[in-house]
Amino acid sequence: MKAFLRWIGFEKQSKYVRDYYYTENMRSSIYMSIVIIVLEVWMMIRMTRTILERNDLGRFMYYFEKYYFNYIILLANGIIMLVFAVKYIRGKVSSRFIGSLIQWVFAIVCICFGIKISLNDYEKGEQILTFLTMTLFSLGLLTWKPYSAFLLSSVSYLYFYYRMNELVAFNTGQKGVTLATHINFFIMWISTMLVCLTKYNNIRIQALKDENLVQVNTYLSKISVEDELTGIHNMVYFRTEAEKLLSYVTTDRENIIFLFLDIENFKSYNEKYGFHEGDGLLIKFAHMIDEAFKGSLVSRYSDDHFVVLTSIEGAKNKVGELSGEVKKLQKEVHLELKCGAYKPQGNESDISLACDRARFACNSIKKHYDRTIRLYDKKLEDQFQLKQYIVNNIDTAIENGYIKVFYQPIVRTSDGCICGLEALARWQDPNYGLLSPGIFIEILEEYRQIYKLDKCIIEAVCRDYRDAVDNKKAFAPASINFSRLDFELCDIVGFLCETVEKYNVPKNFIDVEVTESALTDQQDFLPNAIKNLREFGFKVWLDDFGSGYSSLNVLKDYHFDVLKIDMKFLSGFKNNDKTRPILENIVGLAKQLSMMALTEGVETEEQFDFLGAIGCERAQGYLFSKPVPIGSLRESIAAGELKIAEEFIAK
């Protein structure tokens, strides 16, 4: 039923489909009206010639009423239709009502003309071709809703039939049409209706197809410049528009600035309230920025990061206001807005680099709770260059042997003898000198290159062991730092196994230090990797215990051989009364969980004595030695400044 109703034109159509029909009709109207105009002009010329030939000018009024009048009406109609349709196609008029009205009048006038001429012809015994042409013309060339076509054609055919039936047929000499005319006439009507129906439905299908295409195209072009989650622009849009803006000569380059916005602690918010709530917060925040920087370029960079290209004037105040708004959004998780600003220099036009610099400035104030905004300056530029240098040169540094291992001794509190060595990476660079891990580890982690360094350290430590054994030098079990990303980025456990085998290193000579954050990341493969390490015979140490994160949960869920207590506990040793009982408790806890306790950052004899007294088995810190090359360490041992446990002295 629904399909039938649709077929005969009773369905609600979208604006697109309605417009499609209308435009199609206006186009057909142009051809149709041109034909009518030419035809009528020709008719008038023909008529005038006939009058002149007959020398019948005296009866002009008779001709005018009988012929010219009709021609003029039709001609005028054709001209009006043509003018309107051309204007519509050129986009100069948009009123559909007037257009439809003209079209109806035009069609009715054409049909009436057909009726009039054909009745005349029929009377003279000629065929009714003008009527048939005109109905076919008006109904078949234009597209009508089937019910309109039915109405128009039925009324025309019935009226014509009625008038024809009243006349005396030329061939029979009697009033009324013959059966053959009757049947032919009916068939013509049916044919006209079928033409209309077919045309209507063909165009409907075409319009729907086109509409779909347009919708898909609109969607595609929308998502290509729109961020899917927040609905504001994405980086593709930002880059192209920012590039254009920077290239305009009219742009006042002195007055524009790139901002990089980041919500600090968003990750915790997400973890606490779930992704759905997190997304909601991002959407709100995105629209807040869009609103605050109306008229500027605003896009989502990634995650909870946004970039803005705006004028310097008022930018700081807007960021200040936004920062206040962000605080209002926070629940139990403390949220803070951080903003890095970068002012492009000279003719610079690299948008990605500009965003990177603004981001760098933003990252430089993370965890600085009193700062919301930081401008990228010379100092940051130097750091930024170093960062780029590190990321771009890690492979070369490894190949050229710029990465060195320094060892920091770990001593027993019972006798002060060295019983272990922590392997710590150093980058001895020909341009920058000695770089400490504080500078490059974080960068390598950010760019997911850290595993290269850690593999290099594993290999270097194993090589040092082999060298010591082969050349009868002292060496103690070495602990190596693993980044949590190592487990994700490569098969670090497999690599360690292969390497110890290659250099024939006993497994009890290599320990692995992991931090708590490795285990609170909720990634399944990590705990497994740690279990595997222990099963293979390596000892696993928990590094930086107490430096944050959910320490106690980690202790509950995993077993470690050594608990490495973070050096922050010792930093308040002198002035903070709470330090001692806390340390004592942690050491007690380690014992209960059958772990060996090791405290880092031991700098004074007093601290060392205290650790011995509370039963912390091991200590590490500047009191004994800073991290140094293995050769220097052996010199200190030879000079008697450091003692190494009996079992590790080369024999």
Please state, in angstroms and rounded to a whole number, the distance separating the CA atoms of residues 265 and 178. Answer: 94
Please state, in angstroms and rounded to a whole number, the distance separating the CA atoms of residues 146 and 588. Answer: 92
* Cα-based distances in Å from 489 to 152, 483, 525, 548: 76, 10, 11, 24
* Least Å from the CB of residue 540 to ligand C2E: 14
Here the tokens at position 619 are 């200590």
What does the per-residue mask of binding to ligand C2E show for 610-629, with x meaning CB under 6 A? Answer: ----------xxx----x--
What does the per-residue mask of binding to ligand C2E show for 539-558, with x meaning CB under 6 A? Answer: ----xx--------------
Q: With CA atoms as reference, report the closest residue to 333 among 259, 260, 277.
A: 277
Interacting span for Ca ion (CB under 5 A) from 4-12, 326-334, 353-361, 540-548:
540-548
For 639-649, letters b (16+ CB in 10 Å) and e give: eeebbbbeebe
Where in 445-504 is the site for ligand C2E (CB under 6 A)?
450, 453-454, 457, 481, 483
Q: Is the dihedral of CA 555, 560, 563, 564 positive or negative?
A: negative
Q: Which does 40 bind (CB under 5 to 8 A by kind): Ca ion, ligand C2E, none?
A: none
Specify the amino acid at residue 181.
T
* Cα-based distances in Å from 85 to 76, 88, 133, 142, 380: 14, 5, 22, 12, 65
Instruction: Specify which residues 260 forms β-bridges with.
Output: 307, 340
Query: Given candidates 438, 578, 639, 647, which one binds ligand C2E under the rule CB under 6 A?
Result: 438
Q: Other CB atoms closer than 10 Å to residue 42's CB: what's the count?
A: 11
Here the tokens at position 253 are 């380059």
Interacting span for Ca ion (CB under 5 A) from 51-59, 224-232, 238-246, 535-543:
535-543
Contact call for residue 607 and ligand C2E (CB under 6 A)? no
**44 vs 567 by CB, closer to ligand C2E:** 567
What does the per-residue mask of binding to ligand C2E show for 417-436, with x meaning CB under 6 A? Answer: -------xx----------x
* Cα-based distances in Å from 238 to 137, 201, 243, 361, 410: 54, 44, 8, 19, 53
Q: Which does 533 bind (CB under 5 to 8 A by kind): Ca ion, ligand C2E, none?
A: none
* Least Å from the CB of residue 336 to Ca ion: 27
Q: Which does 286 bind (CB under 5 to 8 A by kind): ligand C2E, Ca ion, none?
A: none
Where in 260-279 is the site for Ca ion (CB under 5 A)?
none
**36 vs 563 by CB, closer to Ca ion:** 563
* Least Å from the CB of residue 573 to ligand C2E: 11
Contact call for residue 481 and Ca ion (CB under 5 A)? yes
Contact 426, 630 (CB under 8 A): no
Contact call for residue 408 and ligand C2E (CB under 6 A)? yes
* Least Å from the CB of residue 383 to ligand C2E: 17
Judged by DSSP in three states, 419 sits in: strand
- Residue 137 is classified by DSSP as I
* Cα-based distances in Å from 466 to 74, 247, 463: 108, 61, 5
Which residues contact Ca ion (rule: CB under 5 A)? 481, 513, 543-544
Which residues contact ligand C2E (rule: CB under 6 A)? 408, 424-425, 436-438, 441, 450, 453-454, 457, 481, 483, 543-544, 567, 600-603, 620-622, 627
